[in-house]
Structure 1
């Protein structure tokens, strides 16, 4: 088991579920509602699992990849992206499920999530694979899978300040 593979697998599942929404008869509100409810939970729990398990270790080991020059920059950007996704999910509740405006809100979730996944795959995951041992990747995968399983029914999602997150996760230097 490897945490980077679990994250990629979750990304695939998220893309697959958005595709399922594409394939539905938009008038079948029971199906739309059921698939959206599951997808919303997957998105929220995935972000929380990354913030709890993956990003603290990227802060410790990451050196930067792609357009980011450090693990801290990658982490700040990811937490900011998670907030964008959470906020877009919350906005779907402002509309009647299945309405045109609701579908527009879901499209905003999809766009925010797609942007985040692509960037994370190019940067944070690539950086982590270069610097983390296979044993650490396995140990984190166990914690990540456990967290997601324990929260399969959902979580109380909330935004996190990216700078505060990085500060709280970074050990202070003693001198």
Structure 2
């Protein structure tokens, strides 16, 4: 497996969790559980992605700007998660913040998959793509509490 497939698999999990959460209401055990899982997925993914995708790409003039943009979007996502953490789950504001997060994450994932993966594919060689995927997946397995 190459780094792009590994990242795309986790992107699909994030999209699904966001979709499920957007259909929840109130301060329910289901909402709490799905939100905890989403938050863990997003935070673990961002760290591992920065380490095993963005970091190596920072070394190339062709991908340094895209890498910096991706990392900046991770910070915006962190801020939205913090806003959700500080909002009562039963309040209508919580769902509004979640929808903002959903839009931000989906925009970020689409940017990566449509634009960044193609450029990165030209910068990284085949063995780098496989090694980065292995390292990324190992970190995800080690960090996720499932």
TM-score normalised by length of structure 1:
0.77
Aligned residue in 2 for 1:39: 38
- 1:120-135 alignment runs, 5 A limit: 120-135=112-127
Which is higher, the Rg of structure 1 or of structure 2? 1
* 1:90 and 2:82 aligned: yes
Task: Please state how far the C-alpha of 1:139 moved relative to its aligned partner.
Answer: 0.6
TM-score by length of 2: 0.92
CA distance in 1, matches of 2:76, 2:139: 22
* Uncovered stretches (5+) of structure 2, i.e. residues with no partner: none
Q: Which has the higher helix share?
A: 2
**Which ranges of structure 1 fall in alignment gaps of 5 or more residues?**
64-70, 154-175
State the number of aligned residues: 146
1:113: how far off? 0.9
Runs of 4+ with deviation above 3 angstroms: none
Contact 1:62–1:128 (8 Å) recurs in 2: no
Superposed displacement of residue 44, structure 1 = 0.8
Aligned-partner Cα distance in 1 for 2:121–2:83: 35
RCO higher in 1 or 2 (8 Å CA, sep ≥ 6)?
2
Matches within 5 A, 1:1-16: 1-16=1-16
